[in-house]
């Protein structure tokens, strides 16, 4: 029997198995929620090529302040970095869904079941209360490399924040925001830790 599932149209957070009065992530009232089925009817997930191996995945029309997920196709295997909030059955299957952090889990529970994908997140972020309804097949604690994708745990924005590097593509979700003339750190979350861990990102990029 399928669990009830609702999607917050303000932030894209998926609520699995419950219908709260307020969104657990952004605090929006339940009047802003739609069922997962309705979400799949109103939204699609569109891929925009970054290069031959990397594709950006976004809900269309924009689903609140959902951030992009990315699909990497490498050595016969398909990885997603983060996950769209909308469940779209037309997408090419993923073998692995691995997260930068726990804020944008999207419809990963549905994609996990539909694709038979393995879902991964850092152990520190898996312990957060908003993750309880989601299944993680792997909760990693160390940096790793798989099929050319490098994963670096830095913490900062969240305790388990992990960024990914694939060839010349850096995947850091919302650690920084683009703005005119450059970038700024995400203003939400612990600012001191976010700035300190940026040095870890810089060191990793410098090799």
20 falls in which pLDDT band (50, 70, 90)?
very high
Q: What is the largest CA-CA distance in the chain?
A: 51
Regarding beta strands 44-49 and 54-60, do their DSSP bridges make them parallel or antiparallel, or are they unpaired? antiparallel
Note the helical H segments in the chain: 36-42, 108-115, 123-126, 191-206
Tokens of 162: 């992990």
Residue 78's nearest CA partner among 166, 142, 141 is 166
Question: Which stretch of 16-30, 74-88, 119-133, 166-180 has the lowest confidence by average pLDDT?
Answer: 166-180
Q: Which of 78-87, 121-130, 145-154, 194-203 has the lowest average pLDDT?
A: 194-203
Reported confidence tier of residue 174, pLDDT bands at 50, 70, 90: low
Backbone dihedral angles phi then psi of residue 5, each to the nearest 5 degrees: -145, 130
Please report the pLDDT score of residue 67 as a whole number: 84
Is residue 139 scored above 80 in pLDDT? yes
Task: Answer whether 95's CB lies under 8 Å from 118's CB.
Answer: yes
**pLDDT of residue 3 exceeding 90:** no
d(CA 108, CA 200): 28
Q: What is the pLDDT of residue 199?
A: 80
Please report how many Cα atoms fall inside a 13 Å half-sphere around the Cα of residue 81, on the Cβ side.
29
Check if the beta carbon of residue 102 is closer than 8 Å to that of residue 121: yes
Q: Looking at the domain covering 45-206, what would its CATH class be?
A: alpha beta
Q: Vertex 22, ends 158 and 155: CA angle to 5°? A: 0
What does the domain layout of the chain look like in residue ranges?
45-206
């Amino acid at each position: 029997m399928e669990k009830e599932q609702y999607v917050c149209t303000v932030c894209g957070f998926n609520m699995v198995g419950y219908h709260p009065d307020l969104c657990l992530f952004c605090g929006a009232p339940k009047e802003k929620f739609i069922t997962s089925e309705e979400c799949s009817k109103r939204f699609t997930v569109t891929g925009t090529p970054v290069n031959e191996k990397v594709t950006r995945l976004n809900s269309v029309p924009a689903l609140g302040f959902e951030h992009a997920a990315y699909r990497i196709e490498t050595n016969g295997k398909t990885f997603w970095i983060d996950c769209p909030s909308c469940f779209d059955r037309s997408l090419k299957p993923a073998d692995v869904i691995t997260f930068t952090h726990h804020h944008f889990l999207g419809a990963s529970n549905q994609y996990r079941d539909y694709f038979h994908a393995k879902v991964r997140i850092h152990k520190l972020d898996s312990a957060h209360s908003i993750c309880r309804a989601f299944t993680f097949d792997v909760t990693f604690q160390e940096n790793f490399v798989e099929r050319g994708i490098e994963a670096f745990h830095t913490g900062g924005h969240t305790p388990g924040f992990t960024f990914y590097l694939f060839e010349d593509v850096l995947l850091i979700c919302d650690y920084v925001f683009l703005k005119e003339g450059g970038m700024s750190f995400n203003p939400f979350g612990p600012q001191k830790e976010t700035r300190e861990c940026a040095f870890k990102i810089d060191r990793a990029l410098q090799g």
